[in-house]
Structure 1
């Protein structure tokens, strides 16, 4: 099926049909403008919320979240709670003291990849003995290429 191109001067017969070769984008532009107007009107309403007058209270403010408790096991076997070095025997007492002052939070455990599995499990056991029920292990995500990401 071919398409003929003419200058529009010649006479056409009544049954002659030619497809329109131009794309009419006017309806699409109209719809897009209507959608734009709808979003411009509804976006501020979604952000503002419902105006509510809150009552006054004498309750204490909720304290700001504490610095996370991170137990680190270095490659040489030394232990750290946050940036403070502790020995294995004092780990439980130090964690219990932190739990008494800061409450029951999540303890994050980091270990060097060269550390033995048994050493990491020993640290996890000591964290559990100190009374913390929520323990999380930290790791370094791989880069997009599949190779390990550089350490920080």
Structure 2
């Protein structure tokens, strides 16, 4: 070794492997986004029921119609009924054909709680297919 002369060591070698950590991080973020947004895209709930574009009468072979006026009067197939009569008629319809569809026609001014009560009576009777009837949009 000479005086005043420093030895040079070989520098760090370049890494030739691919760093997988950023790729895994990005993929995990995409999976989380997919998990969060998938239920939102599958929701088919329409909140603007009184007027909707493209509503057509259903071709269901068996259905019953329940109407609710703004004052709260309930009708089963266009005949006024009480809550007890409605439950009896829904149970009878379910016994005759369990796949019967309930077409619910409610005025805009009807409180949501009353609509939920009617839907609950239908489900309690065994009728799980409930459709909301709306007028075509203008």
TM-score by structure 2 length? Answer: 0.52
Give the CA RMSD over aligned residues: 1.7
Alpha-carbon distance change, 141 to 106 in structure 1, aligned in 2, over 3 angstroms:
same
* Regions of 4+ moved over 2 Å: 65-68, 101-104
1:95 aligns with 2:90: yes
* Larger relative contact order (CA 8 Å, sep ≥ 6): 2
1:128 aligns with 2:123: yes
Tell me the alpha carbon deviations over residues 36-90 of structure 1, each in whole angstroms, 9 at most, x when there is no partner.
xxxxxxxxxxxxxxxxxxxxxxxxxxxxx75631111111211111122110122
Contact persistence 1:66–1:102 (CA under 8 A): no
Which residue in 1 is equivalent to 2:102? Answer: 107
Match runs of 1:1-152 below 5 Å: 68-143=63-138
TM-score by structure 1 length? Answer: 0.47
Higher helix residue share: 2
Contact persistence 2:62–2:101 (CA under 8 A): no
Which has the larger Rg? 1
Higher strand residue share: 2
What is the distance in 2 between the residues matched to 1:93 and 1:126? 10
What is the distance in 2 between the residues matched to 1:129 and 1:119? 15
Contact persistence 2:87–2:122 (CA under 8 A): yes
What is the distance in 2 between the residues matched to 1:125 and 1:97? 16
Q: What are the ranges of 5 or more consecutive residues in structure 2 without an aligned counterpart? A: 1-59
Deviation at 1:105? 1.4
